[in-house]
Structures are given as structure tokens and as C-alpha cells.
Amino acid sequence: MNIYLAIILAALIGEFVLRGIARYFNLKALDAKLPDEFRGFYDEEKYRQSQEYTRAYAKFAYVSATFDLVLILAFILLDGFNYVDNLVRGLSLPPIPTGLIFFAALYFVREIISIPFSLYTDFVIEEKFGFNKMTIRTFVWDKVKTYFLVIILGAVLLGGILYFFEKTGVYAWVYAWGMVSLFIVIAPPLFTTLIAPMFNKFTPLADRELKDAIQQYAKKVNFPLTEISVMDGSKRSAHSNAYFSGFGKKKRIALFDTLIDKHSTEELVSVIAHEVGHYAKKHILKGTILSILHMGMLLFLLSQFVENRGLFDAFRMEETSTYAGLIFFSLLYSPIELVLSIGINYMSRKHEYEADAFAAETIASPAPLMVALKNLSVSNLGNLTPHPLTVFLNYSHPPVLQRIAALRQLSGSSTPA
């Protein structure tokens, strides 16, 4: 067997098995006994629902992951890539348009196949547990807008990468890295000003008490807050969240309307303080730098494999091409990507602890944030007892009980609030 094909098949099957084992242990870790920390927050029925919610997603993940694995293995072993390549080459277009059509064909076929799974997630699982607020019309319209963005951004980014690798020789990866790095930097303000308003409505925060409290806090910690908006998250889901965005000295805080409805002013300020903690601790800057370095390594390695005939032979391709090389290298690179994602998640969890500590320090007490975390977990039916392997592989945030325990250490308290 071709060595590259062996590595790719082993990686796909290995990751499938690893994640399956993690889901199994995660289900076994569900504990019917409510942790003392959450007494007075979860009632018996609500806690039972949270565990059923975890089970529903785990069982569905077994089905969807198995389907995905069978699909990609069949596509590889039945020469699907070569078949699609011959179809797009039959259009007799230059290499770059041919490559973009190749990417688009693979993306949209996969997307069409995945739609039933998305519908089941939103209109069966989320609906069953009272989270789904989306209509079919909204679902379809979201898909249309997403496809529009994929076409535009895909044409720019993938077209640019193909251009550099086709035209600029040995230093193609450097030029491509520069282009992708620029996009990583401008993506947050691009999302805030153009993309987010395509999907949600943002209105100025009308609650004067909450607005004054947030502004006073921002002034206290020298956070350059220029706008506080409310996002109509309830248009799609009952889940709640908050985030800040912005470029340079202009920062914008967006609160989901569902978040405002479920939390006190004190809790909401503590949530904002946590988000500000990421800014104060330069987590966003560190994440951006890490993403840029990651892309540089990825593109350099790509340049070493993009014309490797053995890699194309693994997929029984009749012709070599830069665009197909991108796909094949991404599959070959997947074991490294898994390891990197574990490292990135570890760093993210560390950053969450730091942001929690910053919030507790700057609002003078960890109590409001602990209450906010508990209420957030209850309203989102969070899993209170995830298995360590699941946390290790998948969690970008520490489990809520561990976050609360860390906050208690800051206050010197060991008694549940």
C-alpha cells in the first residue's frame, strides 16, 4: 500500500476511534447525583435534562461520525477525487478557475449531504430541549448567506494561494503566508462590521442601569469601550453568550438578548469583566500570533508536498495539480492538526482561568462570576461532569466546576455559594 495512503487511512480511523472512546467515557462519567456546588441552581428535573442533553448529542455524534468516516473512506478508495478532477478539467479552464471549481464541487456536495444532519441537530435535538427558536425560513436563508460568503472569501483566499503556488516558485509559501496573515488580522473587524450584521440585528443597549454599570467598569479598568450592543440571539436559539470585538482602541461589546434576560446586572458585569480579562491579558493578540505562526508552518510543509507524485498516487490521480495537492496535504497533515488542536485547547483553558482571575480581582469578588457561571451552565444544560479525556481532546474552556473551584481558591472559600 502507498505509504501516504496508509498514513491518511490510519489517521482517519485512529481519530474516529479516539473520539468514540472519549464519547463513551464521557457518557460513563455522567453522575446522577447533583454536585453540591449546584444545589439551589439545578432542580432534579432540570439536572436530569442536562444529562439527557449530553446523551442526545453523544449518540448523534456516533451516527454522524460513522457516516462521515464511511463517506470519506469510500470517496478515497473509489477514486472520487480523480473523478471530480476529470469533470472539472473537462471545462478546459485555466488552472486557478479549475481549482476553485474543484474546491466548490467538493464543498457543496459535502454540504448538501450534511444538511439532514444540521436539520436534525436544530429541529430535533435543540427543539426537544427547548433551545431551538429557528424557523425553516431562517435556516435556509442562513445557508444562502453562508454560501455567498464561502464563495467570496474562498475565491479570494484559495484563489490567492493557488496563484502564488502556480506563479511564484520556491517562495510561494511565503507570499501565501503573507496574504493569509493579513486576513487573520483583518478578520475580526471584518466579522464585526460586515458579516455579523448579515445574520443578526444589533441594537444599542437600552437598559440604563446595566449600561451605566458596564461603562463604569470599563472606565475603571481602562478598557476602550465605544459601543454596547444587544444581539437578537433569540432569533435562532435560547442559548446565551457575550463577546467583544473591535480593532485598536475601538472595542464593541455584544450581549445576546437571551443573556440579558437570564442574569442580574452584577452577573452581567462579571461576564463582561471576564471578556475584558482576555483583552487585558493579551490573549487575543497571543492567539493571533499563534494562528499566523501555525499558518506559516502549514504552508511551508504544504510547499514540500504539493507536487509530490507519491501523494497523488495514493488517491490514484491521473494528473497532478496544486489545488488537489492542497486537499491531499490537509488529509496527510490531520494527525499533526489533532495534536496542535489539543495544545491550542490547553492554552485556551489556561487563558480562561486567567480571565476569570482578572474578573474576580477587578470586580473585587469572585462571587458574581461564580453565580453567573452556574446560571449559564443551568440555562445551557451544561455537562457538569465531563470525562478528562473529553476535556483534553475537545474543551476550549475548563469544566465549570473546575472554574468555580479556582475562583474559590482566590477568595479563600471552600463553601458552595
Q: Which residues are catalytic?
A: 275, 356
Is the separation of the CB atoms in 38 and 66 below 8 Å?
no
10 Å CB burial of residue 323 (0-12, 13-18, 19+) is buried
Question: Residue 408 has which C-alpha cell?
Answer: 474559590
What are the CB-based long-range contacts (under 8 Å, 24+) for 295-303?
295/177, 295/180, 295/181, 295/184, 296/173, 296/177, 296/181, 298/333, 299/161, 299/173, 299/176, 299/177, 299/180, 300/173, 300/177, 301/329, 301/333, 302/173, 302/326, 302/329, 303/165, 303/170, 303/172, 303/173
DSSP code at position 122: I
What phi and psi values does residue 316 have, to the nearest 5 degrees?
Answer: 50, 50
What single-letter amino acid sits at 76? I
Question: Residue 247 has which C-alpha cell?
Answer: 480593532
Side-by-side strand order, sheet with 225-231: 202-204, 225-231, 250-256, 242-247
CA pair distance 359, 407, nearest whole angstrom? 10
Provide the 3-class DSSP secondary structure of residue 396.
Answer: coil
From residue 382, alpha-carbon distances to 133, 160, 212, 271, 272 in Å are 19, 41, 31, 17, 20
DSSP code at position 252: E
- Measured in whole angstroms, the distance separating CA 153 from the mean position of its chain's CA atoms is 18
What single-letter amino acid sits at 151? I
CA pair distance 276, 264, nearest whole angstrom? 18
